Structure 1
Amino acid sequence: MKVIIQRSKKAEVKIENEIIASIEYGLVLLVGIESADTKEDVDYLVRKITALRIFSDESDKMNLSVEDVKGDILSVSQFTLHADTKKGNRPSFIQAAKPEIAIPLYESFNEGLRRNNIRVANGVFGADMQVSLVNDGPVTIILDSKNK
């Protein structure tokens, strides 16, 4: 499971020009689930993301978590994180999980975040979404549950 984390001042997801999810200060998560992922991967990433100290404290040091700053999370499923570009110029997505595996894990991931008293807005799995955000910093971190 791969997650790209972006610290954000605000963000939103639109489908067919309609805003379906938005947040203010917090994190935007692009979430890619592969066939081999399990609940263990979900649990690891939930723990890591909620405790990740990437917000500035009063000394302007990255020392606070999304929980500490009472930030929101916008979670967007993105199978393209598992693109294989080794051969040719057309990416292969063979490692990306099929919906019957990915959807329950994605929902479990979002619920795990919510259990930490974080407001989580999310996109629609498999939909054609337009995601816009105002990066804060910018701060962008990549986590992969296979690289613990």
Structure 2
Amino acid sequence: MRAVISRVTEASVTVDGAVVGALPRAGLLVLLGVSIDDDETDVSTMVRKIAELRILRGRSGDDDDGAVQDAAGSVGKVDVGAVEVGAVEVGAVEAGAPVLVVSQFTLMGSTAKGRRPSWSRAAPGEQAEAAVDAVVRGLRERGLEVATGEFGAMMQVSSVNDGPFTVLVDTSASRVS
């Protein structure tokens, strides 16, 4: 399972001219691809990564006055959404950030041979839809507000990347071959 996770100030997905999913405020845009080899372990790993990756600006370990302590022991103040260098980074659950999940089978494409991508490692529709639904359900069970695209539809995804800050998560990287 692969995900491209972007910290965004806004994001939405449109199908046939109608918005089907949007973030109500800054959060994460997740483009999610499912492989034919993905199972429940991949789903739980992906849910944990999306929910806990410390890529959002916010407060962490602070008391009521907003003072925070970084790894070096320095104390300072961090405002949610601040653009300060060295701002404490928190995960989506800790920040209370919304997540927009958009299924994208093209993430499983291989460009190893020739000029045309191969989709042979992408999960078939029914398997992929079930896995995407399981990830969305897992994120909601962690208390996250989750919007989605429309599985299998031709979608237009709009976003404003914050940073830019984008990471790739591949659950197969943790498997032993």
Q: Give the TM-score normalised by structure 1.
A: 0.96
CA deviation string 1:62-110 (max 9, x = no partner): 4211112211000000000011111111111010000121111110010
The one-letter code of the counterpart of 1:137 is G
Tell me the equivalent position of 1:44.
45
* C-alpha distance in 2 between matches for 1:69 and 1:106: 23
Identity of aligned residues (%): 38
Q: Which structure has the greater CA radius of gyration?
A: 2
* C-alpha distance in 2 between matches for 1:53 and 1:3: 15
CA deviation string 1:118-144 (max 9, x = no partner): 110000111000000011111000000
* Equivalent residue for 2:135, pick from 83, 98, 109: 109
> Does 2:83 correspond to 1:82?
no
Answer whether contact 1:52 1:64 (CA < 8 A) is retained. yes
* C-alpha distance in 2 between matches for 1:62 and 1:17: 38
* C-alpha distance in 1 between matches for 2:167 and 2:87: 16
* C-alpha distance in 1 between matches for 2:18 and 2:127: 28
Tell me the equivalent position of 2:93.
67
Runs (5+) with no aligned partner, structure 1: none
> Does 2:35 correspond to 1:34?
yes
> Does 2:119 correspond to 1:118?
no
Tell me the equivalent position of 1:2.
2
Choose 52-61 or 65-74, whichever is displaced more.
52-61
> Does 2:139 correspond to 1:130?
no
Runs (5+) with no aligned partner, structure 2: 59-77, 79-83
The one-letter code of the counterpart of 1:30 is L
Aligned Cα root-mean-square deviation (Å): 1.1
User: Aligned pair count?
Assistant: 148
* C-alpha distance in 2 between matches for 1:21 and 1:56: 23
